Structure formats: structure tokens, C-alpha cells
Structure 1
Amino acid sequence: RNIQDAVNIANDDMKTKTSLIESRLITGDTALFGQFCKRLEARCVRNHVDDYLKMRIGDQDTRRVKFGNSALLQEPNIKNGCGGLRDYQNLLWMTHFKYGTRTLEQLEAQGMIRPKNRMQLDVGYDFLLRTRNELHYQTTRLVDDMPKALQPRVAWHLGYKNRSPARRLEELMRDLYTHLRAIHLITRMVERRLALRPKNIHRLPSFRTLFGGGKKEESIDGFKIINGELVPTSSRIFKDQPQRLMRVFLYAQQRGLEFHPDLTQLLRDNASLVDDDFIHDAENHETFLEILNQRGNVAPAMRAMHEVDLLGRYIPEFGRMTCLVQHEFFHAYAADEHTLVCLEKLDQIWDADKPPFAHYTHILQDIDLPYLLYLALFLHDAGKGMESGDHVRDGMVVCQKVGARLGLTSHRLARLKFLVENHLLMAEVSQRRDIDSPTVIRQFAKTVQDEENLAMLTLLTFADSLGTSDNLWNDFKNTLLKTLYHLAGRHLTSGKDYKKAEAEQLAKLKQEAHEQLPLKISGEELEAHFEHLTPRYFRTHSLKHIHIDLTQVNRFLKRVVNGTGTKVLEPIIAWHNQPARGYTSVKICTWDRPGLFTTISGALAAADLNILSARVFSRGDGIIIDTFFVLNARTGGLVKRPERDMFKKLITQALLSDESPEFESQIETLAKPSTSAEWQLPTRIRIDTHSAKSRTIVEVESEDRLGLLHRISKVLTRHGLSIHVARISTEKGAAIDTFYVRTALGKKPTDK
């Protein structure tokens, strides 16, 4: 073939083009080789950059998925897996096409890679080459997969001389994982930088000139939001306020934003700010728990934290598991990766429409304290980072320590410890016991204690099993788990022991509330509060929040007794900004009346406030205690004085008026015009007349928008239904609202 033939073939096939670009002169005509290289650059590289990068990145994504999509597999592919040799080589090939560089040193000189990153890549690449060479010697053939059986032998010949094969394997694989992970993360970051740069820029910006550029769309807490990405406004943003290191993940999670590569690098550079003061800071605790509370959207934030080395620093008990080998044959991942994959599986349940995930969606939607479930799943294997060998027992110690540090109440800490202690129980009972035996079900239900434990343990078991290996779960195991869940649930709700335990728990809580009762609240008021509210209220409220609600009811009743005229009918409204959680809470206490929920939700929307979630409870004596978690609908920020004053004005006018208030025109004026997206979340409505004894449950799932809750509740009111309890949540752009309704006469609505 002549030079033109080589050019034609190269332009027809990406792999051939890459091979020819990589060609080196061994012997022959130097002048001819030089001519070949120049022609290849002119005809195959210039004017082909975008097409080549697109094909190369597409090939890279396909290859990563094919070989496990993780750098921390128990049996990694050293050449083609995530963080393998091919990732390193792809980086050089792509930067050569776009910037004309051939080495990491040249990339560093252009400001694309920092010296530390270049050193990590060079050291990691060298380690992978030595490991792969030794693997070839041991197998006497070309092989890139690192089977577990060969790992101790390869380790020995690479200088790991521990007499224990297991320890030798751990030492080698931890080093291998560390290098694979570093190559994977650094090359991914550089790939994003390549894709982001304008076509007419031929030199990558240095890290000294990171910030600026792009159209400013919105600012929040020192960050700019540009084209769906968070960008720092200063290189000192975290040094000035270290708590931003945690808050930035909540901002990205709540708004569906990506981190700009510059922000990712800045987070890595400032991870050392996570010191003892940061770890024990109460505001950071609130933010971290709020991140865990975002059902269906937790795993991306946790993985992002781990990738910038923040998660293991903030929760050192998890940090011990980083790149830790798991010896059980059925585990596909290292310990930290297994945990993150488990969180991803739990997220998938939230809006699933296909089995097996869809079988558990209703359970996750009914969980009252999702952050507790996610925290238990996050810590369920944390005992493996310790030395005793009993990871369940060590895990109990870990979750006690972490839960106490995060400020969990004793009751919630007890539930967390139960889940970690028993995270293997449900799989063992469903797969190894006769679940058709009433004795087995009775004993299991006795251990589980209540419905909330059962629901959380079921979800944890499912996510843990799927996060262990893609091949571990099957339809048979799924059927066993679902059957055990239903049988145990039936036993719990019908058994006298359950009702007795619930009554004892309420009595204990009442006693604690009485002992810490604020001076201005009487014992009679406390008794009325417990008498007129459902057990669910007390399951979802801490002692502190019960006292807050009691105080608000006390203020309302004093106004009723001492007020005159229309003042008697005005609600008590209390606002509280919670920047650590990224929202403002507003509590409303007043007399219940038909359409009240519709009025409140309408007034909030008309005041340009977006409702993230709500806790709505009606006391048996006609007093409602409603809590809404809201944001400014335009800015996504906390609620300020103008919006508060507007809401108070609207709700007061609405409650004092003899006519039904109309907020539709105001909401329409404030609402953003809908985008003509190719796909929109379909609206689903489910009516359940069986699960609750005296109420009918109406579930609505729809794309979130300003005023949606007002419209839904207005329809319910129009049909003569009053809302007894409402559970409102907004996750991943979807509103998932559950209403427990009754007729105007207090009866349960039915099909008849």
C-alpha cells in the first residue's frame, strides 16, 4: 500500500486511524516515514477532530459498560475496564487530535493537568503494566482479566510477601484499585473538559484562570449556574465558608445540576478542610441528612462526594472501606463500590415502572423517614472496615457512633441499629426457612417489631442483594421476599402484640414529652394532643417538634379565647429558614374547615412559593397543624419577607372571606411557560379503598409545576372530600402526593 491507501483506510475506521497515529519508525526510510506522518496529520487529523472525539468517547462509554462500568470490580479487566490501560491511552489519543499533544508532560505544560494528576496517571499506568505483565507470566498467555484465584500468586511475584494469601491479595488489590480509580476519575474529568471547550480555542486554560465565562443565569451561595452546571465564583469559596463543601452537593441534588470540571477539581483541592470541627458541625449534619432524604436521588450525590474524597473524610467509618476487598465469592465489587451501587439500586425503586423494582415502589413511597433507610443502607457493611471479622457486630458499633454524631434521637438511632444488625435476616428467612410455617412468620414478625421496620428492612434487603452482583437476584428470590413481606405485614397489623407495643411506645413518648414540657403548656393540653392525633403523627415527629406544635396550638387557642372579631379566625403562622436543608418551613395552625388545604396550597402558590413537601395533620378536636416545606419559585432560594407577607395577606383574606378564594389567575401569571419537551412525565392516579380502615387513599403522581397541589386538592374538595392526612413530596421533578380522604360527614368514600 502507498501513503494514500493508508490515509483512505484510516478515515474509514477509527481503530485503524488510532493505530496509524501511534506508529513508530523501527527501520527503513526516515524521509518516507516523515512524509507519511505529515500526510496522516493533514488528511486524517485536521478537520476530523469532532468526529474522532465523538467516536472515541462513544467507544469508551460502550467499553466501560461492557467491562462492568466500575473501577472496583473483584476481578477487574486491567486493559479494558474502567481506569484500565485503555482509559489512559484514550486520553492521549483524544488530546493529540484536539491539541496536538503526545505526552502527559505536554498536557501539563498547557495547563490541562496538574502535576499531581500527571504523577498519579504515570504511576498508575506503570503499576498496571507491571501487573498485566505478571499476569501474562502466570497464565503463559494473553489475558487481561484478573481472576481471584490468581491474585495471591501475582501479588507474591510483585513483591507482596505476606504469608497469608488473603492478606497478600488484599494488599495488592487495594493498590490496584487505588490506581484504577485514580486513572478513571482523572480521565473522566479531562474528557469533560475537552467536550466543554469552544472549537476555536487551541490551548486549554490553566487552572490559574478557571473562573468566569458563559452567560450568568443564576447565583446561589457563591456559585453560578451556567448551562445546567454549578461553577465556583472564586478559588477561595470553600476556604471562606467550609460548610459550602457539604451544601454544594445539596444544591446540585435539589436543582438537578452537574458539577463543572473546575468545581470538581476545586472540591478535591479543598477536601482537607474536612477536619474534626467540620465533621461535628450541626449544620453539616442537617445538610447531609437532607441529602439522604431525597428519595430516588441520593446515590449521585453520594458518589460525587466519594469521587472528590469528601465522603470518606466526613464519615471516616466509610472511608476505611475505600478500595477494600470483599472475600465472599458472590460479591462483584470492592466494599465502598458495593455500598454506592446499593444506593443506586434503592434510587431505582422510586420511579420504577418495570419489575422487579416496581414491586417495591409503593413501599418506598410510604416510608416516613427515608433518610434513615438510606443511612442504614450506607452503613450496613461499614463493619467490614474493622478487624474483628464480624462485620455485623462491628457495624452495630459503627452505626451507634455515626448516628449519635449526626444527632439522631434515641428512637431513630434504635431503628438504625435494628436495620444494620438485621440486614441479612430477611434474605436468610425468605430463602432458607419455611415461610409457609406460621411459627416462622410469628418469630420473624416478633423480631421486626413494627411495620416501619418491616418496610425498611424489605427495601434494604432488595437493594443489598442487587448491589452485590447483577447475577445474584432472580424471580424466585424476588417472590420469596415479597411473600415474606406480605405475610409478616399481615401478622403485625392483626396481632395483639403489635397494638400493645404501639400503645406502650406512645405512653413512653407521652411521659418523655411531659417531663420536658415547656412551662406555658399544661398537662391537659399535652393529653389532648396525644388523644386527638393518629399514631402516625408521633412516628414522624421528634419530641422537639411535638413541643413546637404544642406551643403553636397553645398560641392559637389563646388567640381564640382572648381575641375579638375576625382576629379569632386568623391562623398562627410560623416561618423558619433552614439553609442547611435548602428550604424554608412554614407551620400553620387554625380551625379545620372544608377546602382548607386547597386554600393554603393556593395561597402559597399565589405568593410565588413552590411546595417541596408537606406534613398535614388534623386533630380530632378540629385544629389542624400543617407544615409546608417551600422555596421561592423563581430563584429556588429561601423565602424572604415579601413572599411571607404576601402569603399572610392572601391566607388571611381567604379565611375571613365568605366566598371560596380563587388563586388561579395569580398562579397562571407567576407560572413559567411549559417547555415543549419530547417526553413529559405522565400523570398517574391510584385510589385505594382497602389499606386504611376509615379513610380512602388517593395517590397522584405528576410532573411538578407551580400550583399543582392546589389544583389537585381543589378537585378533591369539589367532590365533597376532606383531607385528613396528606403526604406531599417532590422528587426528581415529579410530584408524588398521597391524600387520606373522607366525606363531609366523616365517612370513608367507597365505590358504592
Structure 2
Amino acid sequence: MPNIAPTVIDKTQYQTGRQTLLNQFVQHKHPTRAVRPLIRDLTALTDCCVQSAWGACFNHQSEDIRQAAALIAVGGYGRAELLPNSDIDLLILIKTDALSSEQRQQLSNAIEQWVSLLWDMGLTLSHSVRTIDEGIADALEDLSIQTSILEARYLAGDTKIHHTFYAAFKRHFDLPVFWREKIAEMRQRHAKFDDTPYSLEPNCKESPGGLRDIHLMMWLAKAAGIGQCWQDLHHNNWLTASQLRLLVRSENQLLAIRAHLHILSKRMENRVLFDLQTPLAHAFGLYETVGKRAGERLMQRYYLAARAIYQQFTLFIQKFELFLAPPSAQHIAHKIKGFPDFVEVDHVLDVVRNDAFIRKPHLLIDVFYVYGQVTGLTGFSPKLWDAILQARNLITPEFRRKPEHRAKFIRLLKMKNGITHAIRLMHQTGVLGRYIPPFRRIIGQMQHDLFHIYTVDQHILTVVRNLRRFTLQEHLHSHPLANQVMAEFNQPWLLYIAGLFHDIAKGRGGDHSDLGAIEVARFAKQHALTKKQTALVVLLVKEHLTMSNFAQKEDLSDVETIRRFAAKIKTIEHLQALYLLTVADIRGTSPKVWNAWKDKLLADLYQLTLRELSGQTQAPTNMLRERQEQALELLPSTLTTQAQNLWHRFDTEYFMHHDAETIAWHAEHIIPELTGTQTTIVASQPFNGAHSLHVMIYTADVPDLFARLCSFFQQRQLSIFDAQIYTSGYGTALDTFQVLLPDTHIADTQYVTQLNLDLKELLIKAPTLRVPNLGRLTARSRNFPIVPRVNLVATDKGEYVLKLAATDRHGVLYSIAYILKQMNIRLRSARIVTLGERLEDVFVLTSDELSNPSVAAQLEAELIRVCTIS
């Protein structure tokens, strides 16, 4: 039995010692160097407390009682990886078959006294008491218990009990079963985080590329007897020297981040939340630079570390799967025609010789071409991964200057199949960033425009994937017009180049579109693109936001708007390419940003500009007639005459802003209830799933109508993400809103019916408007605020166009509407657009007072006030 000092460390000693260690860590200039000493010393301090308390409670007991229990550290504490606010996981093994009932009670009392001592000291315990048989039985039923036992570390008590238990555990342990269950668990965990390390608020423990992946590698290594630490894996040829260094450095980076998260939040916090990213960056000595926030610099380090871990983890899992394969398993290598350096083995691509890339560097491009060309491949072999990772530094400026290498890269982009997978593998292996140096600068680069949910590099890869999908029949149902346009565009590889470069200059400061255009022009010249091809990719990168801005912010019913856009684009080929890139770009920001309304706006702008460039500009009256005819086809023939009578009340603007399906839907609900000019009609239908609604209101126009509608939606916790506000010349308003429901509600029949009744009642009774109040900002909005922009311009029609861009928050739209009502400014029409957490709205206003500069200035000041984050 070990000699344990009977003196117990008291609470003050423990807390003082712990705080001293935390202070030393916080004050250290290099957290990644200081985190291992912190973990080691925190573990040692805790060991001292736990062991001294055990000695105080057990040393005076009889020998029978002392030999009846063993104290084992498990989990993170067992692997001696104790962070500032980690749980202290302990297993107490007891052997009571030789004890009398009185001795058993004494043992129980000693354990209770020990637990009380530790709680009094302020330790957060997670402990269990088990016999050897109970411990083994629990382990066989619970995967987490098996895992924690693999990390078990003896602390105090009888060593025989510990050895007996561990020997029994090893006899019952089934490595293949453990492997299958842990991999299934890992897949569920990764799926919870969208299978990407690049979440903007990642969990540094559980996300892909997080510390849990590191743990899983070591659990499997220990279970299989491969090694107890990274050095063992290196000595046993599971890790090269460079991989070992990279893995240790990346692990220390994440451990240091996790330690600071615990300290900053004063709890066991593993999420790198927006609110914590800036103070976390400061703890690492990172501060704001030109074009880059401190938090962005910190997160770029995080993503690089997570990417390295995820890469090594994937490679380790592949190797381990081969390690477990039965000796009799056949692994037949199939030659690949035209590429003798590569073979296919069990549906993965392999390399014949480990030094293939060293001898023939051009294979660093060819390997991705082969992967895209050979059907049925599911990935790279571990051997091939290792070979690429060891040779990728051969992609030097000299390598990039060689014409044959440039030709191979262009050939890669021209592949008919496998482009998306090939480009993603190039990124994962680090080859893409080395071949296109500007791309390497945006790896892990955050975006703070409140609607991108991916880092810049992941967004770019998603855009390239979307462009590729426009060429595939299986995705025709998702974007029919884009697929049709792509079929007419005969050089899709130029779009992939534009996709790779469109955001490549983000994070530098300045206009990323202009800087990106310079980069893609340089690339085009180096890769011998023709003048026409170069002009196209430069225009696409420089103007990649233009079509979206025109579609969402300009009046598409105005012929001059279409002519201005056509003058920028110049040719039909440019229009086709820009439309495809724009759709792919918006769809690649966030699933919440793209919807049928934006699809329609872009499609309308495309069709109108196509006619303009073809010399077939359609007069507004012809377009109006075309929309009406399409809508009539969707309505019952019995409503034809009534629909035409209804449409006489609406002008071209209404038909330009709604597609045929929406026009028909409006008419179908308005006509049966149309009994007079004062009729109030409300209809709703699910839109884009069960958590969003398309709401239509047809009623007499009154000055505060828009404010009442916004107030109603705010009170019901409905978030407006798109709206069309239209007022006819007959004094009626036809407003259409697209709203998101709270997570606790779904758009079932009962909910929709009651919502319609309540909204109709509100409009009829017209209660006094309440004073608006703004909701709380999200963490993302607080940390990435938008400086509000207000632009008020008079038109030649005696109206005023108000353009507003600001951070969206609950109640802000009602606050805007309330200001307009208070200043007696009438709203004739509006286009409400919410992009993630950013609003970009356009209002058409009428007021005799706005011609007074002081009134216009007052309106702008009031709008700035409510849209400014404080």
C-alpha cells in the first residue's frame, strides 16, 4: 500500500493553488506552450487533494477495509487531461465479499466522508462505487464506461483490486465491437455539427476536428495495443515525424483555447461562442488589424488546427480499418489505364510507390484528375494520403510556372465527372492552397456579413459544387432555370474558375470584388486563357454581387433599370454566366438565405435582360398580359371573368413583383370574399416547409396599415424575411409577407386558420398602436454589427425612395413603420429583404413634408437611431 500523508489539503490551499496556476496560464504570452504545464499541474494538485483525503479517511481503518477498495481516475481525469472547470471522474472499486456487515458499513461511511471532504474543498466530482463484477457488467452494456476504463489511472487503495478489475476488463473487451460502436457514435457526433470543422461557433471538443477526434484516435490505439501516446504511434509507424509535430501542435492549440474558454466563461464551456471570440483572441495576444477583427484571427488559427486534426483523424481511421481487416481479405490492385503510378484497391485510389510524387511532382495534379475520371472510387488510401502530405511542399513557384502543370490544372477543371470531389480533396490535402496561393490566405477566414454561415474557403467550395450541380440532370428539380441556362453555356469550367476566385480576396481590406478581379486576371494570363475567356472570368469576379443587388434592390418593372443592368453585362454569354454564378453564390451562403422569392427575382431579371440584349425588349403591358395569361391557366375557368375584373385594379408593378402562381393564389382567395371596397381578406399557406408561411392581406389602405401588420407579426414572434407591400390606385393594399414561425410552432391547419382569424380581427378593430420595443440581438449581431445606411432620394413621380441597410433584430421593422406613421409619411410600396441577420429594405414613400430638408434629415436620423446597435 502506498504511503499517503494523512494531512488533508484544505479548501483555501486548494483554491489558492488552483488560482495561482490559472493566473500563471492567463499571464503567459504563449498559451499553446503553457497549456500542457497547466494541465499537468492541475492534475497533480487534484491528485494530491483526492489522495490526501483518501488517506485521511482510510489510513486509520483496519487492514481488511483498506484492502477492500481502490480509487481509480477515469475519463479526462484518468488520462491526466484536467482543464480548469472539467469534471473529476472517479471510479471506486470495492470488494466486500470477505467483510462483515459492520465492516461494510464502515467502508461505506469512509467513502461518504471522503466525498464530503472533496466537495467541501470545492472539487466537482462525478463518481461511482462498483464491485468488480458490477463494473464489468456496466462496461459491457455502456460504451462510454468502456471508453472511460481504457483511460483508467490508479490513484489510491488496494492495487490488487485495480489489477484484477483491469485484467477482467481486458478478457471481456471486444475490439471489433468497440470499433464499430465508436465509429457509429463518431458519425452521429459529426452529423450533429454538419460534418464540418468550419462552423462559425464550433465546439472545440465535439465538432469534427475537435479534441474528441484526438481522444478517439488514442482510445483505439490503446484498445488495439498500438500505443499509449503519440510518440508510440510514431515509433510504430502510424505517424510520420511531420505528422506527429503537426498533430501535437494542433492539439495544444485546441487545448489552450478550451482552457481559456473555461476561464473566461467560469464554467465548463467548450463552444467558441461569438461573445467569447474577441476576449479569447486577446488572451492569445491577437488584436484587430486592417481588414481583420481579433476574433477572426483567432478563429483562423482554430480552423487550421481543426483541419489538421480532422485530416490526421481521417487518415488514422482508414489505417485502423485496414489494421482490423481479416488476414484472408483480398486486396486486389487494378491498374488504371494511362496512369501506371496509380492503382485501385477495394474502391480506393492507391499509389504504387511511396516516393511517386517525389520522383514525378506533376502527379500531384494528376492524382485528382484520376480520382475524378475513375468511377466508383470512394477516397484515397492511407498510403496515398501519406505520400501526398509528404510531397505537397514540392508545389513551389517553379512548379506553378511550368506550362505542363498549368495545362493539367485546366484539364482537371474540364473533367466531365468528379470535379466537386476532386476539388474538395485538393483542399483537404492542402494542394489547392499551394497551387493557388491566394486561396491559402482565406482558409479558415470568417465572414461577418451576418448571412454567410461558412468560412470563405468552405463557401467557395460550396459555390463550385452548386455550379457543378447545374450540369447534372438529378438536380434539375431543384433549379430548373439554372440547369437550362447551364445547358446553353458551353464552357462551365470558366464558371468554376470564377467560383474559386469570386471571394478569394476577402479579409484583406478594400473591395474584395476588385481585388479578386486582379487575382483572377493574373491566373487567366498564367494559364493561357484567351482574351474573351479572361474578360468573362474577370467580369464575373468583379460583378459577382451586381445581379443580386439589382434583383433585390431595384425596380424590375422599370425599363431603365433593365437597360442599366444590360449595359453593365453587355453580352448574352456574360448574362448567362453571371446568372449561374449568382444563384450558386446565394445558395452557398446559408440554407436560410435562398428561397423561392429570390429565385423568382433573379429569374425575372435574367429573362428581362435576355430580351433586352436580344433586341426583343418586351413592353410592360405585354409582360403584364403574359403574367395574367399564365395565372389564368392556374385558376378554375369559372373565375376567369372575375379575375380579369380584379386585375384591372392593379398596375404593372404588381404583376412584375409576383409570379403567376402567387397572382393566381391571390385571386383564388380574394374573389370569393370580394363584396366591397372595404373587405378585409387574409390568407396563408405553408412556404418552404412547416416552419414558414406565405401570408397575404387584401384590405383598404390606411396610413398605419404597414405598422399594424409589423406589430402583429412581432407580437406573434413571427420573423419577416421577405415582403412585398403594394398599394393600388383604387385605395386598396395587397401585401404579401413571408414569415418564419417560432421553433415551437408548425404551420398546420389549426395554426394557420387561427392566425388568419386573429390578423383579420386586428385589421378590422384597428386598436391603438403600441410603442415599439426592440428585441435582443443575437450573439452574432452583437459581435459583427452593421453600420446602418439610410438613403432617401426623390423621384420624378413626386415620390421618395428610401433604401435602408442595417442589422436585423426582432421589432426593428415595426419600429421603422412606427416612425413613418408618427411623421405622417405614407408607404406606397416596399420590398423587405432579410439576408440572414441583415436587412436590406426599399420603401416608396409619399409625403408633402419630405420636400423639406429638415424633415428628410429628421427621418434619416430617427431611422439611424433605431437601427444602431447599442
TM-score by length of 1: 0.61
1:192-238 alpha-carbon deviations (Å, 9 max, x no partner)? 11122353569xxxxxxxxx974444462322222222222223322
How do 1:395-434 and structure 2 match up within 5 A? 395-434=516-555
- 1:67 match: 193
Alpha-carbon distance in structure 1 between the residues aligned to 2:538 and 2:318: 41
CA shift in 2, pair 1:27/1:164, >3 Å? farther
Matched residue SS, 2:453? coil
Structure 1: runs of 5 or more not aligned: 203-211, 498-752
Structure 2: runs of 5 or more not aligned: 1-129, 619-870
Q: What is the identity, as a one-letter code, of the residue corresponding to 2:159? A: T
CA shift in 2, pair 1:143/1:412, >3 Å? same
Give 1:312 deviation, angstroms. 1.4
- 1:240 match: 359
Match of 1:251 among 329, 350, 370: 370
Q: In 1, are the aligned partners of 2:520 and 2:538 still within 8 Å (CA)?
A: yes
Matched residue SS, 1:356? coil
Q: What is the identity, as a one-letter code, of the residue corresponding to 1:237? A: A
Match of 2:557 among 425, 430, 436: 436
- 1:231 match: 350
Matched residue SS, 1:324? coil
Matched, 1:459 2:580: yes
Matched, 1:194 2:315: no
CA shift in 2, pair 1:394/1:184, >3 Å? same
Matched, 1:221 2:337: no
Alpha-carbon distance in structure 2 between the residues aligned to 1:23 and 1:198: 24
Match of 2:240 among 111, 114, 119: 114
How do 1:617-696 and structure 2 match up within 5 A? none
- 1:175 match: 301
Give 1:253 deviation, angstroms. 0.5
- 2:503 match: 381
Matched residue SS, 1:266? helix
CA shift in 2, pair 1:162/1:373, >3 Å? closer
- 1:35 match: 164
How do 1:268-287 and structure 2 match up within 5 A? 268-287=389-408
State percent identity of aligned pairs.
27
Give 1:438 deviation, angstroms. 2.2
Alpha-carbon distance in structure 2 between the residues aligned to 1:458 and 1:27: 70
CA shift in 2, pair 1:9/1:486, >3 Å? farther
CA shift in 2, pair 1:371/1:164, >3 Å? closer
Match of 1:4 among 133, 137, 141: 133
- 2:268 match: 142
Alpha-carbon distance in structure 1 between the residues aligned to 2:587 and 2:267: 34
Q: In 2, are the aligned partners of 1:124 and 1:180 still within 8 Å (CA)?
A: yes
CA shift in 2, pair 1:196/1:366, >3 Å? farther
CA shift in 2, pair 1:404/1:215, >3 Å? closer
Give 1:358 deviation, angstroms. 4.5
1:129-170 alpha-carbon deviations (Å, 9 max, x no partner)? 221121122222332221223211111123335688954223
Alpha-carbon distance in structure 1 between the residues aligned to 2:488 and 2:228: 56
Q: What is the identity, as a one-letter code, of the residue corresponding to 2:353? A: S
Q: In 1, are the aligned partners of 2:200 and 2:455 still within 8 Å (CA)?
A: yes
- 2:154 match: 25
Give 1:61 deviation, angstroms. 2.0
Alpha-carbon distance in structure 2 between the residues aligned to 1:301 and 1:72: 19
Alpha-carbon distance in structure 1 between the residues aligned to 2:133 and 2:479: 55
Match of 1:477 among 598, 616, 620: 598
Give 1:376 deviation, angstroms. 0.3
Alpha-carbon distance in structure 1 between the residues aligned to 2:481 and 2:131: 62
Matched residue SS, 1:197? helix
Alpha-carbon distance in structure 2 between the residues aligned to 1:139 and 1:359: 49
Q: What is the identity, as a one-letter code, of the residue corresponding to 2:455? A: A
Matched residue SS, 1:325? coil
Moved more, 357-366 or 431-440: 357-366
Alpha-carbon distance in structure 1 between the residues aligned to 2:279 and 2:292: 11
Alpha-carbon distance in structure 1 between the residues aligned to 2:575 and 2:291: 40
Matched residue SS, 2:156? coil
Alpha-carbon distance in structure 1 between the residues aligned to 2:417 and 2:435: 22
Give 1:404 deviation, angstroms. 0.5
Alpha-carbon distance in structure 1 between the residues aligned to 2:163 and 2:324: 31
- 1:368 match: 490
Q: In 2, are the aligned partners of 1:21 and 1:40 still within 8 Å (CA)?
A: no
- 2:865 match: none
Alpha-carbon distance in structure 2 between the residues aligned to 1:197 and 1:17: 21
- 1:16 match: 145
Alpha-carbon distance in structure 2 between the residues aligned to 1:376 and 1:161: 32
Match of 2:420 among 299, 317, 342: 299
Q: What is the identity, as a one-letter code, of the residue corresponding to 2:384? A: L
Q: In 1, are the aligned partners of 2:548 and 2:582 still within 8 Å (CA)?
A: yes
Alpha-carbon distance in structure 1 between the residues aligned to 2:302 and 2:560: 49
TM-score by length of 2: 0.53
Matched, 1:450 2:565: no
- 1:334 match: 455
CA RMSD of aligned residues (A): 2.5
Matched residue SS, 1:383? coil
Q: What is the identity, as a one-letter code, of the residue corresponding to 2:321? A: A
1:321-345 alpha-carbon deviations (Å, 9 max, x no partner)? 2222333232222222221122223
Alpha-carbon distance in structure 2 between the residues aligned to 1:157 and 1:275: 35
CA shift in 2, pair 1:213/1:99, >3 Å? farther
Match of 1:391 among 502, 506, 512: 512
- 1:262 match: 383
Q: In 2, are the aligned partners of 1:72 and 1:333 still within 8 Å (CA)?
A: yes
- 2:176 match: 50
Alignment length, in residue pairs? 484
Q: In 2, are the aligned partners of 1:53 and 1:94 still within 8 Å (CA)?
A: yes
